[in-house]
Structure 1
């Protein structure tokens, strides 16, 4: 796709994305470098100089402010500023000559506007248009007033919730302060007891030491005719005191000290808390179908995800992006999971016991992988987590049926086999069979953000939408959805489907009733696409191709 500021040739004429309005009046074809919103005219450098002499107060935007160029005009192309001349019936768009040359050269049906406009002024629909516009403007005014009230209410809610969070924190601090005080009181009590014990021992040692010294001195100083008797008495008393001292010395006393052993449940409990609580929006604040955008391709790139030691081609059957921007892919060709960093380089490989066929995001930095092989028979769902830029296993469970796809919503897994879709708990308990079709193969499933719809691709080139009970509520068939396999639903509800046989990725409406746009094709580097993920952080489609070492990244706008 040509970028703004470029020019292309059509026949012998040079076609600019913006042409100088003044030069066109003189049958000259000059590329515009400026735009005056007051005059609603595009100007080349020469004409801008003349314009500046006459209209010194007009603000003129250059190429650096090209996003401000397109002023509103009924008969002008908003993108290129040229006269609208035709209508592309394939894309249902009004087009100028540049639009046709750049984007619609291969379209099958293009109509001349004068032919389409014939007898329009007499039609009832045209006559009713002013009234319809007035009604819509009134509704927009009502919506604007409601949203202004919501804006104020939202600010009040924010303040109130902030107070609640801080109150909870104060209460937690109060509890922790009380626990701290109890621990310190226990410490103080034990300290006093131990200090008293040591003080008593010190006093006993000093007293016994002095008694022994005094007794032996008096014994040695005994004289007179009763010396022998007095010595005997002193001897007996000294022996008794020695026995007391001996008991004091030999009494077992370990090293006196203290240590603190914390309650081992406290820190793990606090670390395992994800939040002090959950902030939830009211139903009126949730996104409606009106927020769904119809995307167009802006540019595309390819990134090689094959590791050096690999000899066979990659077969990327599953893709998901983690909240931190890292991407995890399932490579059936090498029976591995691969972690890509933000530069889309392989930063880790994780080998699997069998072929992965699909994956889905669950929570945090965790994913679920559907693994399936015939020899030996393997039907398993594996759970992996990314920690410190490495993939680690969390566990698995086995099913009695094949595991060809997996989707997750609020702790429930939807596991696809070749002919059916089953609902499981996260610990592997089968809840029920959601859907079954014995005639056509079930390829992939995905769940809407609200959990009300389940999208399923099938081998009869159909995308079907199921309600929560498993009933088919809508079906999409289109020439750009041939042999659909890969499928994804973004957190905002945008639905994208891979046409494996048509080399396309198609955007479908939330209800699964119609195609909204073909957002990527073979021209963008697709080669029998098998998997797709839409990154709302970067407005980028990430597409995995069959027997191809390259991931295709399609920037949308």
Structure 2
């Protein structure tokens, strides 16, 4: 037999590639391979019948895998049809529940309106009746005044006029007292909207769907092991050090933002930036005092620091990132993204930004796309951290934290014991510190995503924690609550 490439006899055999070769093949393509031997010796030692049986076994095995796939996908189609019907029913039920609750709130508020107005209307009607009575008395006095001096003596006239004068003085005191009487004020009925309703409406405006219909793919275990398969080498995982980690609250600082908080970062110089629900970017001193609102137009959401003087901020409604210089207070650049953008993080001279629920885009500071990572999240990508070519993000509705590399490969996911993860940050060792909003706890997840530990529970007095940031230089950080009322400084130790 001859080589198809070089038309020379196949006289040699490469055990590394399991390939018969000619002299030219060996010199050009297998020069670094070990154990080159003659093809004749290999053929002599090989038991053809055993090889035939092995290959036939592999063929039958692969046929069984393909049969299994056909059966599985056929069953999957039927199951998917049923689930599709179920999803449509669920959407209808969600709408019914929302309408039912809104109808109840409307009925309750209308009843309260009728009760309050009827009370005020009754008071006003009674007051009018009282005034009408005084008016009638004055008219009677006026008529009597005309007759009291007719056909009477001077003494009788004097006494009559004097009596009417006393009655007028009483009426005068009544009218003077009315100046301080609450009943004389105009009464109107208005509705003061609950602040929480404004937040809910704002969220509803930004929500483009009550849910998301997505495809969830589950791997089928095909248990592929053949005579052609080689063993893989598995790296041992690093041991997590979170078992020795403790978090202590050093101090709790009252802040005066008093608005729902969207994001928070600790700046290099120790100050803070807090973004509130109205999209204002607040600069706070290291002791939590509000210094100023940075003059950046628009409705901000998430913020990250690029260098000592420069920050980057997402603007979801504008679908853009603004690069802002804090020293001269100017917007240096606007990067248009074309999609709703929320979470933002800076690392390795590039930005990672969360777009809706399905994409994390890595861009340079000029706005050029370096990577586009496709993810599946039940929540919008509000909170993420970019570090060491990995992106960690929380999925509050999915009750999970995910870690992906910058090629889009999922490294790990963590779902145990989480009830609604929100803000997160990374400590010095790469462990992930997470604010679990619904359980009002601070948790740590090991760098490899295998272990977790509760660092602080709600019994420690952290009410509705929302955001967290970490200062790597001091192994400390800050926690901010959802309503923007306090900053809690914490210290981490690994004793």
Q: TM-score, normalised by structure 1?
A: 0.42
Q: TM-score, normalised by structure 2?
A: 0.47
